[in-house]
């Protein structure tokens, strides 16, 4: 649903970070890709998130992505910096630098690996939100972090003046409804397959991986929901289903999205940084089988799809420059 004071947008792309064949950030490709997804209908870009390979980007690269995003967007879309850190002090340092670089908002992921208690999670989020004047999205993805943000913790965090939204990757629809009923938080779907179900119970928008390839259908879905046209939204959702399956089910979304974008000629290389690697032969074959089922999706014409399985076969180490904490 629309929100009177939404500072984030509704169709947010969890942006991949295009890289060269040797694993360096491909800055011209970054600029082109950001422009492409905005032109296709995105009104928000999340840089340095999970899909952007935040865990293997240097701090300098993360800040530069905010700067480049801000420059390319030129007011057409919000630039939101994701990632953060599982060290609270380092997260604060990164978000302060991102704010200085021009970020419009920040997305804070639950501290990962440490497995903090809910008290630790609450303190982490509060301290980071205290350290910036930017609007904050909480990122709840227990499959990656090892711990969820529990309902009671969300209620307490919702009272913070800078915390305005949550990205949900738990898929607990009853909890979504409870939080929407009990707080003023905006909800963003963090699961590409559940975008329409989330929107149908009151979510504000989405932060999607598949939108790297086809942002236009998500614009159709969101606009249809905004005007109450469930039939149009459902039709677009059904068209997208094979593409979502291709991107989200066989290998990590970052890997498949880059593989597909490269096959479409939209980025120069499908490279990811280790420990991620490109799809193996059998994984690539499954992705391509799903793509063969994609029909009529705006911006996703696979008639000239030319995958390069050899180029995608390995990972790459970055040439480290600056902090990699």
Query: What are the binding residues?
Result: 51, 207
- Is residue 105 within 8 A of residue 137, CB to CB? The reply is yes
- Residue 74 to residue 259: CA distance in whole angstroms: 28
Please tell me whether residue 44 adopts helix, strand or coil conformation: strand
Rounded Cα distance, 77 and 282, in Å = 37
Q: What is the dihedral of CA 26, 31, 32, 34, to 10 degrees?
A: 120
What sections of 186-252 are H helices per DSSP?
A: 195-200, 216-226, 230-248
Asked about 78 being catalytic, the answer comes back as no
DSSP string of 118-144? HHHHHHHHHHHHHT-SS-EEEEE-HHH
In 3D, which of 2, 31, 28 has the Cα closest to residue 15? 31
Q: Give me the catalytic one of 167, 218, 258, 259.
A: 167
User: Which candidate in 95, 139, 218, 259 is catalytic?
Assistant: 139
Binding-site residue set for pyruvate: 51, 207
- What gap in Å lies between CA 277 and CA 273, rounded to an integer? 7
- The tokens describing 35, both together, are 């422009």
Residues 126 and 133: their CA atoms lie apart, in Å, by: 12
Active-site residue, 139 included: yes
The phi-psi region of residue 262 (left if phi > 0; otherwise alpha if psi is between -120 and 50; otherwise beta) is alpha
CA-CA distance, 225 to 207, in Å (whole number)? 16
- What would the two tokens of residue 27 be? 């800055």
Tell me the catalytic residues: 139, 167
């Amino acid at each position: 649903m629309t929100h009177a004071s939404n500072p984030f947008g509704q169709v947010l792309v969890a942006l991949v970070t295009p890289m060269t064949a040797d694993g360096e950030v491909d800055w011209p490709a970054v600029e082109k890709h950001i422009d492409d997804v905005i032109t296709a209908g995105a009104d928000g870009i999340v840089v340095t998130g999970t899909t952007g390979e935040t865990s293997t980007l240097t701090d300098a690269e993360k800040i530069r992505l905010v700067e480049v995003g801000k420059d390319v967007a030129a007011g057409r879309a919000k630039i939101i910096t994701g990632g953060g850190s599982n060290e609270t002090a380092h997260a604060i340092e990164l978000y302060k630098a991102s704010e200085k670089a021009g970020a419009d908002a920040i997305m804070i992921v639950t501290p990962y690996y440490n497995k903090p208690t809910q008290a630790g999670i609450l303190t982490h989020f509060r301290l980071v939100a205290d350290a910036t004047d930017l609007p904050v999205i909480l990122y709840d993805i227990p499959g990656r972090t090892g711990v969820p943000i529990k309902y009671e913790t969300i209620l307490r965090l919702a009272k913070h003046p800078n915390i305005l939204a949550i990205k949900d990757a738990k898929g607990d629809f009853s909890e979504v409804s409870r939080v929407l009923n009990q707080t003023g938080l905006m909800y963003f779907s963090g699961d590409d397959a559940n975008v329409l179900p989330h929107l149908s119970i009151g979510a504000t928008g989405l932060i999607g991986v598949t939108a790297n390839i086809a942002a236009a259908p998500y614009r159709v879905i969101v606009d249809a929901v905004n005007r109450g046209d469930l039939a149009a939204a459902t039709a677009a959702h059904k068209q997208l289903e094979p593409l979502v399956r291709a991107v989200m089910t066989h290998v990590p979304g970052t890997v498949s999205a880059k593989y597909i974008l490269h096959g479409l000629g939209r980025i120069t290389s499908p490279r990811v940084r280790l420990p991620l690697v490109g799809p193996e032969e059998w994984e690539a074959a499954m992705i391509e089988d799903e793509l063969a089922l994609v029909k009529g999706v705006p911006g996703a014409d696979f008639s000239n799809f030319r995958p390069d399985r050899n180029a995608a076969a390995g990972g790459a180490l970055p040439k480290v420059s600056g902090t990699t904490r």
